Amino acid sequence: MLVLAIDTATPAVTAGVVDLTADSPPRLLAERVTLDAKAHGELLTPHLQDALAEAGKTFADVDAIVVGAGPGPFTGLRVGLVTAAALGQALDRPVYPVPTPDAIALAAGTGEPLLVATDARRKEVYWAVYDAAGHRTDGPGVDRPADLAERGLTVRSAVGEGAVLYADVLGFPVVAPHHPTPVALVAVAAAEVLAGAEPGPLTPLYLRRPDAVEPVGRKKVTRA
């Protein structure tokens, strides 16, 4: 099966073309990754087109789409989910959302308890905890690094851009990669994709309430 992999939940604009078969691990055919938190909308579609061209494929050859569902900042995250949804509808192909930290943990592959921490801005991190087998045991959540450190996490290392930015606060050795890879994104959803399972809803993991709020009443514009 030919699978498109997309993630925009981190500063990385990630697009990849992955070959998926039942008897072997996912195999990367081509990828485009650019680290630019402000370029998701500008670069994602060209990245997908370039990766497909390098792999010698077209959108018509795609069998399924896998997309990172976050958590991540609203503006970047919605680019990936909307693009994946639009492609899925246009191509009549299933779109499988996966939690972005799951893909980062799988790519790290430490074989030890692991903290995934990505940059949530506002001096906070999005985080999730994984056991030695790579299963998520806590999270995802969003917290200040100091508050997260006080939880007494029993992990051996940390991965993700948040782990790099706040390594001195979190106090764990930092491993790579800091962003999800196309192969790891597909691997997280591989069983569902191969089985032709019905995808879950494309629900973004924002973890924060919107900054904008509805007004509670009209402002007076004239004096009484």
Domain coordinates in residue numbering, the chain: 2-99+181-195, 101-175
CATH code linked to domain 101-175: 3.30.420.40
Fold match between domain 2-99+181-195 and domain 101-175:
yes
Q: What is the pLDDT of residue 217?
A: 58
Q: What is the pLDDT of residue 64?
A: 98
* pLDDT tens by residue, 11-70: 999 999 999 999 999 999 999 999 999 999 999 999 999 999 999 999 999 999 999 999
pLDDT at 165 over 70: yes
Question: What is the identity of the amino acid at 92?
Answer: D
* pLDDT tens by residue, 115-145: 999 999 999 999 999 999 999 999 999 999 9
Confidence of residue 207 (pLDDT cuts 50, 70, 90): confident
Range 2-99+181-195: architecture per CATH: 2-Layer Sandwich (3.30)
Given a contact cutoff of 8 angstroms between Cβ atoms, the answer to whether 95 and 83 are in contact is no
pLDDT at 212 over 50: no
